[in-house]
């Protein structure tokens, strides 16, 4: 591969060294690829898991998957975008060629999961970053925590022409993961319709976008729960009818046994019902621990849907607390990963442009690239409401 050029990347060198800013090289875009000059990268909680050593790509590697930027170069056979285009990048990258992609099921693209997510390479099985000594540097998935990144063109989506000029390109980065995840949950998994009642557990980056998109879809009302007061304030700002402390009762610290009885849930369920004028038709669990999953199933209406986007309990078991209740109340439990980027990113951009929410309001903290490690430390400590943005 020829045409390597200098750039800088925040390289994950292992749990102890953590992130180090390194001068590296990035390849020229190959067939079907683009070179992106990155404007910003959102510090998403899923990268905190990687920082703790739970990623699938061994260090050293480059992660970061919530990007916006400007196309500076395109490889052969790229006609969807051109240099100068301002784009948002989807964290899930459909190869566009496998059977799942051909059927429109972008979120089931096997080459993305194997080549990009598992192996840290691009679809042709080779890398696009290297150290100055020529050693390969892998990317974990998108791997865009760098000044430049080479990506499949299927990852990038131009901002609409009439994108408000007051909205910086950098801030649109949050749409690539938080926004798309929320869009998939609302419109693919829940198939939310106007006139429904909604509960959103967890008002983080994804939760806030779910609240805004639910309002945009014309729901009767949305209650948000979060343990953090700042997040509850943000939930109201994003259009929640009410924002409640999800720990009242039960505390998230309680064991599953202590909260397994439906009666103990009555306090919160009653408050949710009184705000909404009925039980929630859909509960979005954006946290994804056994406690929140339990709460969701106990509060949702008979015949309602529980949509899970959070992976907070990845290391533990998900729980159906009472199989009789689950069966007799006909609860639908729906996992939601990302939506379908090629269809949904343009729709999300349209929804945002038409007023669903202002991406800048999701950003509560900004860090220069050199302080990327600090941004993740703040996310890991739970001190960030919405999103922390790493800017160039
Ligand atoms: Zn993410
Ligand atoms: Zn595919």
Domain architecture of the chain: domains with CATH: 5-176+358-391 (3.90.180.10), 182-335 (3.40.50.720)
According to DSSP, the residues that pair with 336 across neighbouring strands are none
| 3-class state of residue 124 by DSSP | coil
What span, in angstroms and rounded, lies between the C-alpha atoms of 302 and 300? 7
Q: Among the listed ranges 124-133, 243-252, 295-304, 323-332, which one has the minimum average pLDDT value?
A: 243-252
| 3-class state of residue 260 by DSSP | coil
Neighbours of 22 (CB within 10 A): 18
Peptide bond just before 250 cis, omega within 30 deg: yes
Q: What is the pLDDT of residues 63-108, one digit of tens each?
A: 999 999 999 999 999 999 999 999 999 999 999 999 999 999 999 9
Count of helices and strands (H, E) across the chain: 13, 18
Q: Among the listed ranges 62-66, 216-220, 327-331, which one has the minimum average pLDDT value?
A: 327-331
**Whether the predicted pLDDT of 265 surpasses 60:** no
Ligand 1 centre and the CA of 345: distance in Å? 15
Ligand 1 centre and the CA of 149: distance in Å? 17
Ligand 1 centre and the CA of 9: distance in Å? 18
**CB–CB of 51/12 below 8 Å?**
yes
| 3-class state of residue 162 by DSSP | coil
Ligand 2 centre and the CA of 94: distance in Å? 5
Smallest-distance ligand from the CA of 45: 1
DSSP designation for 195: T
Determine the pLDDT at residue 248. 53
**CB–CB of 115/122 below 8 Å?**
yes
DSSP designation for 305: E
Ligand 1 centre and the CA of 120: distance in Å? 16
Smallest-distance ligand from the CA of 107: 2
pLDDT, mean over the chain: 92
Tokens 């051909």 correspond to 102
**Whether the predicted pLDDT of 263 surpasses 80:** no
**Could you list which residues have their CB under 5 Å from ion ligand 2?**
95, 98, 101, 109
Smallest-distance ligand from the CA of 113: 2
CA 294 to the chain's CA centroid: 22
Q: What angle do CA 46, 48, 49 make, to 5 degrees?
A: 70
């Amino acid at each position: 591969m020829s045409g390597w050029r200098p750039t800088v990347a925040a390289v994950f060198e292992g749990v102890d060294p953590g992130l180090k800013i390194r001068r590296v090289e990035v390849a020229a875009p190959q067939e079907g690829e683009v070179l992106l000059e990155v404007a910003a990268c959102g510090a998403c909680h899923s990268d905190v898991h990687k920082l703790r050593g739970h990623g699938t790509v061994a260090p050293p590697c480059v992660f970061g998957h919530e990007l916006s930027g400007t196309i500076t170069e395109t490889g052969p056979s790229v006609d969807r975008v051109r240099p100068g285009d301002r784009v948002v990048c989807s964290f899930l990258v459909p190869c566009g060629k496998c059977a799942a992609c051909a059927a429109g099921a972008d979120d089931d693209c096997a080459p993305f999961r194997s080549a990009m997510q598992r192996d840290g390479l691009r679809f042709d099985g080779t890398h696009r970053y290297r150290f100055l000594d020529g050693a390969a540097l892998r990317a974990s998935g998108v791997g865009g925590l760098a000044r430049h990144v080479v990506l499949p063109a299927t990852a990038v989506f131009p901002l609409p022409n009439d994108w408000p000029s007051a909205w910086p390109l950098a801030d649109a980065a949050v749409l690539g993961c938080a926004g798309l995840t929320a869009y998939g949950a609302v419109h693919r998994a829940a198939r939310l319709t106007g006139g429904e009642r909604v509960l959103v557990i967890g008002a983080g980056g994804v939760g806030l976008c779910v609240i805004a998109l639910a309002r945009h879809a014309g729901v009767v009302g949305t209650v948000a729960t979060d343990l953090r007061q700042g997040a509850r304030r943000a939930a109201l700002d994003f259009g929640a009818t009410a924002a409640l402390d999800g720990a009242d009762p039960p505390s998230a610290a309680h064991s599953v046994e202590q909260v397994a009885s439906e009666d103990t849930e009555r306090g919160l369920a009653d408050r949710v019902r009184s705000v909404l004028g009925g039980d929630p038709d859909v509960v979005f669990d954006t946290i994804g621990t056994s406690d929140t999953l339990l709460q969701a199933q106990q509060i949702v209406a008979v015949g309602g849907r529980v949509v899970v986007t959070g992976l907070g309990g990845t290391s533990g078991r998900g729980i159906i607390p009472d199989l009789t209740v689950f069966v007799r109340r006909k609860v639908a439990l729906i996992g939601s990963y990302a939506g379908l980027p090629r269809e949904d990113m343009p729709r999300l951009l349209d929804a945002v442009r038409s007023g669903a929410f202002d991406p800048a309001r999701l950003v509560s903290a900004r860090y220069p690239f050199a302080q990327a490690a600090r941004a993740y430390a703040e996310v890991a400590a739970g001190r960030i409401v919405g999103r922390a943005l790493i800017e160039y």
